Amino acid sequence: MAEQTEFEKALVQELGLGPRVETDRILDRALTAFFSQHLGQKTEIQSKVISPIYLGKNALVLSATASGKTEAAVCPVSARILSQKENALCLYVAPTKALLNDLVRRLETPLKRLGLKLLLKHGDHDPPLEGKNFNFLFTTPESLDVLLCKGIRPLERIKHVIVDEIHQIYNQPRGFQLLFLLERLKLATKKPLQRIALSATVAQPSMLASWLKGSDEDLEIFSTEGKREITSEFLFVKNLQSLRTWFSSVPVKKVLVFANTRRKCEEIFLSLKGVNPYEAFVHYSTLEKPDREYVENRFKKSAYAACVATTTMELGVDIGSVDAVVLTDPPYSVSSFLQRIGRGGRRTAGTHCHLVTQNDREFLQHCALLRLAQEGALEASVRGYSYSVLVQQIFSCVASKPDHRILPEEVLNFCQTWAEYPNEVEAILNSLETRGYLTKEANWRSLRMGPKLSQLYNKAYIFSNIRDAGKGVPVFCRGRKLGILPLPRDVGNGDTILFAGRYWKVENVDESSIKVTPGSPVPNPLVPRWSTAGLETSDLVLQEIKRLLKGETEPQNVEQNVKDRLENIRRNYVGGRTDWDFLYRQKDGKHIYYTFLGGFSNKVLQLGFESGMEPPPEIHGRELRLISDLPLDFSSLPKINEIKELIGTNWKIFSDIAAKGPFFNLLPSELQKEETLSFLHYEAIEAVSKLVRPRLLRIDREL
């Protein structure tokens, strides 16, 4: 019998008719290690992506919460590592330390079955890497930056990169930081990277995939169409104390309560404290590691528990089973809404949530979020670019050199993948030199660390692109750091602070820290003044509120009392009328226009009226409405080209919209402008320019 040709061997193997090759056996081992407890059963997304990832494809994996995305990526990558002769390393990046801690607990056992080791590296867990034998490195963008700066040799083994919850950092400063870091990593390893990203469903998957690819191969998009049915219960309460009644009557053991701010978390915690049989906790990012872990473990072990959290619990932190999810504030976006309600009832086919509403605006926003989530509608984004993060990366690159010197072309090398950056490197370097962050060497082309950069480097301030990180006063209790808290300047001895669900009595205040001891409850404790700048309800949600008011849409799977409440609101506010574009109200000499256009469009309108009306009105644009001291003449609005010129001239009022990093102010003014303008929705500008004669409906109450 003639020997098979290579083509025939490949064909036989593809059809499954020949003997299995060694690489197939390795994948089988990995599948057994990860899925034996599930009797080998895989979810839909796992069935779709395991083979392509194992074959080396770059992949964007989109699927609902709790669908097994993590294992869908780690299982085939672990098989690839085992099948390669070289000692390859997989870099696993996640946006939060809490999520990384949870991932390590989940994945350590199946990886151990394969003889593979993992290592966790972030700000709260800092083991040495040198001399360690590990196959997976779990870290954050900031800790990866530190590792690259130190020139850690094990990083040279990285061939695979998995980015979890990428929608949390997509088009954000931390995401741009990761993109630059991966290019710097490639320059160090001189190897391509297999890039894999995991996310819940996003509005523009192809744009995200293109954004992440960098200088590597395109990412193939894998997604599942299946959606869990979303049902809800609305809780109509007069105040947060009313939640006590609900908790006393519901037959659930574990409740996750979401609030939009850390201050609100503390207020809800106070209202729930002492509700039997529940043990109440708070959880947010400012808590120190021991306090976060204490809350996570106690919640998991308690028979009855309520955990009040902000965005930290939107991600997959393991706190055990959650019987009910309560939203005390409507989130600002549909994506956040889906993340929150997806934390409950993971063992059921559908998703059920409890939506707390204290007024008509909260009720309408909850209804809008619910309806959009049921439709599968998500917010789109504009792909901007981040010169401010390039500043941070220049600082990191300088710090990574033993002599703290770089040549301009070294910066060009790690940013040349993107057309918008190389042409501006010289201007950025010149600006940093002028400001004293870099010093140009007289007889060389190199730049070295300047005195201002040296100060930042010594304080380790150059590795993060999180705005306002570390702002506040360190607070200590008996030598243990509780956190860095933004407290009022007049805090003094004897005051009581409410933080992390506990009362603390101030014993001593000095210039650098505050010392406290456990205190007793008081009526009006001091609560840290956390910043909420830049948090605005998305345009998509606001437009859906308008559609609800006009009766153009209805939330599905809601009880009759919700339908009745919505009908009453329509009757009370708009009298059931649909022949309007904006709502209008006068109060205290002010003219209020409810446009439902969002913060950006209302700021554009503000500019247009200030330019087109004579005399110009005193006007303020907010997410839902415009407030003016004069009636607004919409026929005075400039044409679209004039509006664009106005935006270019007045770009600074839009700077909060841009995803700018903390080093934004170190850019030349022209690049600050370019970065800001790159994030603006120009489709919205065209819509604003067409508002010549909007139909106004006068209302007599506050929305």
The CATH number given to whatever domain includes residue 200 is 3.40.50.300
Residue 497 within any structural domain of the chain: no
Residue 596 within any structural domain of the chain: yes
Domain of residue 439, CATH code? 1.10.10
The proportion of the chain whose per-residue pLDDT surpasses 70, expressed as a percent, equals 93
Does 683 or 131 have the greater pLDDT score?
683
In terms of Cα–Cα distance, which of 444, 451, 464, 447 is closest to 396?
464
Instruction: Say which range, 10-19, 154-163, 241-250, 661-670, has the weakest mean pLDDT.
Output: 10-19
Residues 176 and 29 placed together within one structural domain of the fold: yes
What is the average pLDDT score of the chain?
89
pLDDT average, residue stretch 21-38: 84
Whether 435 shows a pLDDT value over 80: the answer reads yes
So what's the pLDDT on residue 15?
Answer: 39
pLDDT average, residue stretch 35-47: 85
pLDDT average, residue stretch 537-541: 94
Residue 455 within any structural domain of the chain: no
Whether 70 shows a pLDDT value over 90: the answer reads yes
Calpha distance 654→644 (Å, rounded): 13
Residues 637 and 660 placed together within one structural domain of the fold: yes
Instruction: Select from 170, 193, 223 the last residue of a domain.
Output: 223
Residues 370 and 412 placed together within one structural domain of the fold: no
Calpha distance 521→274 (Å, rounded): 13
Calpha distance 595→584 (Å, rounded): 9
The proportion of the chain whose per-residue pLDDT surpasses 90, expressed as a percent, equals 59
Residues 279 and 356 placed together within one structural domain of the fold: yes
Residues 254 and 150 placed together within one structural domain of the fold: no
Please report which confidence band the pLDDT of residue 22 belongs to, taking 50, 70 and 90 as the band edges. low
Calpha distance 590→631 (Å, rounded): 9
Q: Choose from 310-314, 360-364, 534-538, 599-603 the range with maximum mean pLDDT.
A: 360-364
In terms of Cα–Cα distance, which of 165, 109, 469, 108 is closest to 317?
165
Residue 527 within any structural domain of the chain: no
So what's the pLDDT on residue 374?
Answer: 92
Are 167 and 24 a contacting pair, CB within 8 Å?
no
Whether 657 shows a pLDDT value over 90: the answer reads no
So what's the pLDDT on residue 126?
Answer: 80
So what's the pLDDT on residue 138?
Answer: 98
Residues 206 and 262 placed together within one structural domain of the fold: no
Please report which confidence band the pLDDT of residue 206 belongs to, taking 50, 70 and 90 as the band edges. very high
Q: Is the dihedral of CA 172, 173, 176, 178 positive or negative?
A: negative
Please report which confidence band the pLDDT of residue 12 belongs to, taking 50, 70 and 90 as the band edges. very low
Instruction: Say which range, 51-60, 404-413, 486-495, has the weakest mean pLDDT.
Output: 486-495
Q: How many CB atoms lie within 10 A of CB 518?
A: 10
Residues 83 and 215 placed together within one structural domain of the fold: yes
pTM, rounded to two decimals: 0.87
Residue 529 within any structural domain of the chain: no
So what's the pLDDT on residue 606?
Answer: 93
Residues 168 and 85 placed together within one structural domain of the fold: yes
The DSSP bridge pattern shows strands 480-485 and 473-477 to be antiparallel
Whether 452 shows a pLDDT value over 70: the answer reads yes
Does 633 or 483 have the greater pLDDT score?
633
**71-83, pLDDT tens digit by residue?**
999 999 999 999 9
Residue 225's alpha-carbon distances to 290, 316, 449, 519, in angstroms, are: 39, 21, 51, 52
First to last CA, the chain: 85
Query: Cis peptide leading into 290, omega within 30 of 0?
Result: no
In the block, tokens 């053991």 appear at: 253
Count CA atoms closer than 13 A to 509's CA, side-chain side. 14
pLDDT average, residue stretch 500-523: 88
Whether 574 shows a pLDDT value over 50: the answer reads yes
Q: Is residue 217 helix, strand or coil?
A: coil
Are 572 and 701 a contacting pair, CB within 8 Å?
yes
Residue 260's alpha-carbon distances to 157, 206, 245, in angstroms, are: 41, 30, 22
pLDDT average, residue stretch 166-191: 94
**Tokens standing for 483?**
């956190």
> Domain span at residue 634?
579-698
Domain count, the chain: 4
So what's the pLDDT on residue 6?
Answer: 56
So what's the pLDDT on residue 345?
Answer: 63
Residues 68 and 214 placed together within one structural domain of the fold: yes
Residues 234 and 219 placed together within one structural domain of the fold: no
Residue 312 within any structural domain of the chain: yes
Q: Is 104 exposed, middle or buried (CB count within 10 Å of its CB: 0-12, 13-18, 19+)?
A: middle
**141-173, pLDDT tens digit by residue?**
999 999 999 887 889 999 999 999 999 999 999
Instruction: Select from 421, 449, 477 the last residue of a domain.
Output: 449
So what's the pLDDT on residue 346?
Answer: 55
What's the DSSP call for residue 19?
P
Does 674 or 510 have the greater pLDDT score?
674
Residue 391 within any structural domain of the chain: yes
Residue 428 within any structural domain of the chain: yes
Strand blocks (E) in 496-596:
496-499, 502-509, 514-518, 582-587, 590-594
Residues 152 and 209 placed together within one structural domain of the fold: yes
Whether 692 shows a pLDDT value over 60: the answer reads yes
Instruction: Select from 353, 375, 397 the last residue of a domain.
Output: 375
Residues 66 and 205 placed together within one structural domain of the fold: yes
In terms of Cα–Cα distance, which of 616, 617, 614, 607 is closest to 638?
607
Whether 39 shows a pLDDT value over 80: the answer reads no
So what's the pLDDT on residue 5?
Answer: 54
Are 675 and 653 a contacting pair, CB within 8 Å?
no
